[in-house]
Structure 1
């Protein structure tokens, strides 16, 4: 399997997951042109995609969906609540008939050679979900936009070989930063975003010897920066109640406007 971040951050998100036979996107929160450029680096064309998985209907996750789906007519999969949100977002324009497919959390389904397990996440959207994806040999997951996590979340992220995990903000930067108070409360709330510290603590619960790569994603432009997220998460691993140190786990920070290295499992 392969995993690649085409874009990740509060201004737009798009992740590629696939193997030799089946190619998927998780979210299309950037322009069609940028999606195509990212896929080109993977030597994949838009019409070779098997499906697009949408985590929720916020603009930084669906911004390019209308233009991209009209050109390539790739099936779109999302929870009923997310599909309702997509339909209500008028700036997308009309989507081709029959492209939207409802999926339910905790109801796995298959696309080509890949098995997909949608799981619920805590965020202020209609019916948001993360996705765990495997091909019977390797498993990856995309888990961003979650204000809190619990045993349910941990269970869905166990035994992965790679994960895209949110490290959205540094708490101190958020507290003293430019956001108005209600927005600060929203970001820090149970339906907001995962801080660097909580991202590290969640990782401590899912680390195992076969976790080959961690991609920290969805960083806030105003309340975080790459080095801080990276070092904070590594520190949490080192001081956490687990047998690992921060340097034991290969880790990268997904960039807002650059395609990441391709993780081949």
Structure 2
């Protein structure tokens, strides 16, 4: 398996999981033009993609999904709740010409050579899911946009070989930052986003001897820094520069081999 990102943060997200000829794009928060440019940096074009898998309906994750899928005839996998959210009256999203396949939380499905486990998470969306991807004996997890680490999340992600993990904010920086009080409560709430320390608490229960790559992701540009995120994970006992890195909003990160 291989893992890469075309960008990670509040301005747009997109993660790639590859096994053989199967390439899954998780979310697409960029325009089609920008997505093509970012894919090209990784040696890909949209025609190489097998499917798009959606975590939830927020714009930084779904902005480019339907236009990309429509133009390049890509199937889109999402929960019924996400589908209902984007097709609600007044929505700017158009499902015309897009093949949508329903995802059911906890029920595995396959995209080519990759088996996908949808994991329900606490977030302020209608039916959000994050995902664990399996090919052979390898497991790659994508886990962002959740406000708390539930026992179900721990069970699903404890045995990953690679993990893209949200480290959205530092609580002190969030408290002192420019957000209005209502947004601070939302971000720091149980259905908001993981703090560095919450991410660190999950790291303590992972099978760290198995974990080849830990990518800290979805960092807030206003309420976090890579240094804060890395320090929190190091404090949790995972201080390994060879295996830990930070995904950026502009660059994402290049291909990582999951052997």
TM-score interval, smaller chain: over 0.9
Alpha-carbon distance, 1:248 to partner: 7.2
Once the two structures are TM-superposed, the CA of residue 120 in structure 1 deviates from its matched residue by 0.3
Deviations 1:16-63 (A, max 9, x none): 111122000000011212221222233222122111010000011011
Where does residue 92 of structure 2 map in the other structure? 91
Give the equivalent residue in structure 2 for 1:242: none
Alignment correspondent of 1:258? 251
CA distance in 2, matches of 1:181, 1:98: 39
- Given that residues 214 and 249 in structure 1 are in contact (C-alpha distance below 8 angstroms), is that contact kept between their aligned partners in structure 2? no
**Structure 2: gaps of 5 or more residues:** none
Deviations 1:153-201 (A, max 9, x none): 0110021110100000000001111111111111111100000011011
Are 1:113 and 2:129 an aligned pair? no
Aligned structure 1 segments of 4 or more residues deviating by more than 4 angstroms: none
| Alpha-carbon distance between aligned partners in 2 of 1:178 and 1:83, rounded to the nearest angstrom | 33
- State whether structure 2 residue 63 is matched by structure 1 residue 63: yes
Report if aligned partners of 1:174, 1:223 keep a CA contact under 8 Å in 2.
yes
Secondary structure of the 1:127 match is coil
CA distance in 2, matches of 1:114, 1:18: 8
Structure 1: tracts of 5 or more residues without a match: 238-244
Q: Is 1:73–1:96's contact at 8 Å kept on the other side of the alignment?
A: no
Contact 1:52–1:74 under 8 Å retained in 2: yes
RMSD of aligned residue pairs (Cα, Å): 1.5
Q: C-alpha distance in 1, partners of 2:192/2:246? A: 20
Instruction: Quote the offset at 1:86 in angstroms.
Output: 2.2
The equivalent of 1:214 in structure 2 is 214
SS at match of 2:229: helix
TM-score of the superposition, structure 1-length normalised? Answer: 0.93
Verify the 8 A CA contact 2:123 2:145 in the aligned structure 1.
yes
Distance 1:34 1:163 in 2: 25
Aligned 1:1-265 pairs, distance under 5 A: 1-88=1-88, 90-92=91-93, 94-237=94-237, 245-247=238-240, 250-265=243-258
Cα distance in 2, alignment partners of residues 264 and 249 from structure 1: 13
Mapped partners of 2:252, 2:149: distance in 1? 28
Q: Greater helix percent: which structure?
A: 1
- The answer for the alignment partner of 1:241 in structure 2 is none
TM-score (norm 2): 0.95
